[in-house]
Amino acid sequence: MQPSTLEFNRFVLDFNSRTCIMGILNATPDSFSDGGKFNSCETAVAQGIKLVEDGAHILDIGGESSRPFAEPVSEQQEMDRVIPVIENLAAKIDVPISIDTVKSAVAREALNAGATIINDISAFEKDPAMADLAAETKVPVVLMHMKGTPETMQVNPNYDDLMMEIITYLEKRAAFAMDKGIKKSHIILDPGIGFGKTVKHNLVLIKHLEKIRALGFLVLIGPSRKSFIQNVLSKDSSIPVGPDNIKTLYGTMAAVAASVMNGAHIVRVHDVEKVKSFTRIIDSIRNA
């Protein structure tokens, strides 16, 4: 049975008639698209407020880049980047804040500061204590598939059966989470677009996203400004298409449309205002 709502803390997210938009706020100097733009508390808070005003239903805040070949940062450095931002925003906005981290110590401080969702790109593998924390605090979790680590994931990623391997992995990690005491209704699965996948892998994942939805969990996808979009569009361009090119925005919209039509409940994006109008039409068509 497909989930239709996500209830937690004082929030209720309804997926019956609309796609949920997760706005990306990178409080980092080195993220692949907007790194360095919001790495002071003041600029990050201002951007977070703007994303909510633009229509974000969730705000996802991260302090460690997970772009290909990114190097990890210390717990303290990550906390210094995100905790003041979360504290400030939690007092100013009325949408749930998600902490994007693989470290349970960072997640705990973020939850204490006002976050109410854990987004773990390692699906609890990097730090198994994260599952215990999520069970203890009863917050929703995002579990993502990644082949390798950010430092290694884009070095010749290879699969014998792409969809089967990703589905099997996500099933196992969801089972691990439920064994730890996390409710099935609080588990969100993310196939990990761009995390240990070639251009073709990413396209196939979006095309067959309904196979992940069929597992019976909420599904999140994050195609926004990803390199597979840039690579596809660069083939028809005399110059490379970068993450901030208008063509990449159009490509992101196309990927969002296909993802929603193929089963995504939540889309994680940078350009919230544009995506909100876009998904409003897609949802209207889907629900007609």
Owner of token pair 């796609």 = 19
- How many angstroms from the chain centroid is the CA of residue 99? 10
What is the pLDDT, as a whole number, of residue 205?
98
Q: Which residues are catalytic?
A: 226, 268
Q: Measured between alpha carbons, how far is 194 from 266 in angstroms, rounded to an integer? A: 17
CA distance 37 to 252: 20
Where are the domains positioned within the chain? 5-283
Fold of 5-283: TIM Barrel (3.20.20)
User: What is the predicted pLDDT for the residue at 97?
Assistant: 98
Q: Give the pLDDT of residue 93.
A: 98
Within the chain, strands assigned E span 5-8, 11-14, 20-26, 58-62, 97-100, 117-120, 141-144, 187-190, 218-221, 266-269
Q: What is the mean pLDDT of each run of 10 residues along the chain (288 residues)?
A: 89 95 88 59 94 98 80 91 97 98 98 98 96 98 89 78 98 98 98 96 98 98 96 90 94 97 97 96 94
Q: Are 213 and 263 in contact (CB under 8 A)?
A: yes
The tokens for 240 are 């490379």
Q: What is the pLDDT of residue 37?
A: 66
